[in-house]
Structure formats: structure tokens, C-alpha cells
Amino acid sequence: MADVTYLAPRDLKEVLNAMKKWKGRAKVIAGGTNLIPYMRLGVLAPEVIIDLNGLEELAFIKDEGRTISIGALTAISALASSEMIRTESPLLFSAASGLGSPLTRNRATVGGNLADASPAADMAPALLTLEASVHTKRGGGQGREIFLDEFFLGPHRTVLEEDEIITRITFSKPKDPARSSYIKLGLRNSMAISVVSIAVRLEMEKRVCRKARVALGAVAPKPIRAYRVETNLEGREIDQGIIKKSCAIAKEEILPISDIRASAEYRKLATSVLLKRSIQEALKGGHT
């Protein structure tokens, strides 16, 4: 790796000033589970690394009444051990618990997982079904709120400006209990990048689906909401016919690639099979 300037700001204001000064030439680092490998491979060669690890103000999980707020520097392991997350979002709890090894979960952060914008980002499908928002700050102090389904642009590309960082992620607490399911398919049972990941949340009124949220990972250039699948499920009593049609629609909504982990055709087949399983698990009670 080339020589770089290393900065360790003491608070968010210092981070934002550094981001503004070194705009376009700096990268922030938290857990480093993505940035360091990219630098070793020569994919990224920043002049400056801004270390965020000193910013304890960005590491938290808070109940804010109607919403849950998660600091960008919150470790994935903190989500996987949080009773609040397990209770309020079993989907997110499950996704965090299945990310990488214990070492990776201790190092990786929620904000970093989203900012890297991998099509297979483990946190994305669960947070997409929660209709989460990303909150940011940039050099000069300006901030904004970005709906997560508008945040990703493509492989490792987001709407973030070069001097902008994620500060927290928020989502509303469900008003009514939702049935949910999260499935991650990898080449081995643990520590694997997903071949396909699916998150499903169903709000049921008796046997009719009042609201459906379905998100998919590793089957398109970015993590996606399956809007057409959701429309097919909502307002209907979900039977095997509706599930079968939903699976067919999902295969049309995705745009998978072939890589060393799986072929595009395999990903389409796996998406169909796993979506059926996810919906059935949610209907049976799932995480609830």
C-alpha cells in the first residue's frame, strides 16, 4: 500500500473539517473490514485516512419513542447482542448475527456496511424492509436524511458526497407486530458473502396481508426492495397461488450476475426457492 496521511479526529466537528479540507482525497475508516482489503488490492489509494474510532458519540443504539436510532459506528456485534434490536427488529438481529465471524462482527460497523454499498451488504435487506433512513453530515456541517431505498446507486456507489459521512440510521417502530423472516444463502454456513439474501416483513390482519416489505441482496447491482412482489402480496389472503406468482415476479425484478460464488441462473432459481420459504416462514410466525 502507498504511504498515506493518517488522521485521528477527536470529535465529529474535526472529522467534518478534515473531510472538507481533503475532499476527494480522503477515506474514512471505522472497522476497516472493507477499506484495508481494497487498499491492499490497489482498488483504492486515498491520500488521507480519517480514523473515526475515537468518536464514541456515533456508537449507540437508542429507543427514541417512536423510532430506533443506531449510530453509524455501532459494531455489528452490538446489534447481535442487543435485546432492544432482538425485540423491535428480529430481522435486523438475525442479519447481524449471521454477518461474518465474531472477529468481523466486532470490527465491522453498521454505517460502514451500508456505505460500502456491496450488492451483498448483510445489513441492507433487513433495513430496507424496515424502511430505514440514513442520516448524514458533511463538511460545513450540513446534514440530510436519505431513505435507504434511495441511498444505493450501484456496486460500491451511493448518493454520499465526497465530504459526507453517515452519522446514524433510524427506523420507525412497527405499530403492530409483524411477521418476518430472514434467509442468507452462502457457500458455507458461516463467514460467507451471501449468494442470495432475502428479508420479508408481513403485517397481517387475520389472514389478509395488510402490508408487505420484501428486500433482496446479492441479486442486483445494489440491495433492492422487490416492489412488484410487495404489491402482489398486499391486500390479499396469501395462499400458495399468490406465493407462486410472487416468486415468478421476483425472478423478473432481479438482475443477478455470474461470479465465483454462483451463476446468474442459479441466483434466479435460489431467489424463487428462498422467497417461497421466507414467506411461508413469516406466515407461520417467523420472528414475530
Question: How far apart, in whole angstroms, are the C-alpha atoms of residue 1 and residue 121?
Answer: 25
Q: How many CA atoms lie within 13 A of 76 on its CB side?
A: 30
pLDDT for 165 equals 94
Give the residues of the chain that fall short of pLDDT 50.
288
Question: How far apart, in whole angstroms, are the C-alpha atoms of residue 175 and residue 16?
Answer: 36
According to CATH, the superfamily of the domain at 179-284 is CO dehydrogenase flavoprotein, C-terminal domain (3.30.390.50)
Report domain 57-172's class: alpha beta
pTM: predicted TM-score of the whole model, two decimal places? 0.92
- Cβ-based neighbours of 159, under 8 Å, separated by 6 or more: 146, 150, 151, 153
Contact (Cβ atoms closer than 8 angstroms) between residue 75 and residue 59? yes
pLDDT for 91 equals 92
Contact (Cβ atoms closer than 8 angstroms) between residue 156 and residue 47? no
pLDDT for 189 equals 53
pLDDT for 286 equals 62
Phi/psi at 138 (nearest 5 deg)? -140, 170
pLDDT for 274 equals 96
The CATH label, of 3.30.420.10, 3.30.43.10, 3.20.20.80, 3.40.50.720, for the domain at 5-51 is: 3.30.43.10
Query: Which three cell numbers, joined as nine digits, stand for 46?
Result: 486515498
What pLDDT, in 10s, does the model give residues 175-212?
Answer: 766 799 999 998 765 556 889 999 999 999 988 999 99
pLDDT for 288 equals 47
Q: Give the residue extent of every domain in the chain.
A: 5-51, 57-172, 179-284
